[in-house]
Amino acid sequence: MSSTQSASDAGGTSLLRGATICSTKSGRDYTLASTADEFSEAADASLPPINRVDANLMRVLRQLEITAKRLAPRIAFKAKGSIVLLDLADILAVQAEGHYVSLRPRNNPYLVHESLSSMAEKLKPYGFVRIHRSVVVNISVVEKIQPLPTGEYRLRAKGGKEYLVTRTYKHNLRDVAQLWVGSERLCG
């Protein structure tokens, strides 16, 4: 196996699983030997030796993942006599419905007694933009923006849900991506 080849078989599974590193006489050359004697191949001498993944390291990585999920921004609101907590990343959009707003996660929507203007201001630091007088969307779920002949835009979110971006709010589309390339007048 050369240094440019991958250490995996055709099925994508790693051939390094269960392997140990053996040093040869020179101390700079390493040999990869399978504990099951399935193969033995000289590794690139310029690469450092491969260390086994420590069980403690795996526990620490799992704990970091749990901590990151716990620290993810969430929204709390009353629904049916209890307080519901939702990760903001799970909310596709917020839509006005009379004196309420409908929080639209990937599954069932929730009605909350709040104005859309108030919700838009609260959610703006978390990546939500207003695209219509009655809709605020999570920019992380936007997959596609299509200009329409009327000067408006059609925005498609993950899962196929589409929203109309009116001319009044089309300038907010600049916030959907951090980098725009190809044309300076893509949206607005």
Residues of the domain holding 160: 73-176
- The reported pLDDT for the residue numbered 155 is 93
186 is a domain residue: no
Q: Count of domains in the chain?
A: 1
Structural domain includes residue 15: no
Residue 80 lies in a domain: yes
Higher pLDDT: 13 or 138? It is 138
Q: Determine, yes or no, domain membership for 132.
A: yes
- Domain of residue 163, CATH code: 2.40.50.1020
Give the pLDDT confidence score for residue 168 in this predicted structure. 94
pTM of the predicted structure, to 2 decimals: 0.59
Report DSSP letters for 143-162, one per residue. EEEEE-TTS-EEEEETTS-E
Within a domain: residue 134? Answer: yes
pLDDT at residue 167 in the model: 93
Q: What is the dihedral of CA 77, 79, 84, 90, to 10 degrees?
A: -80
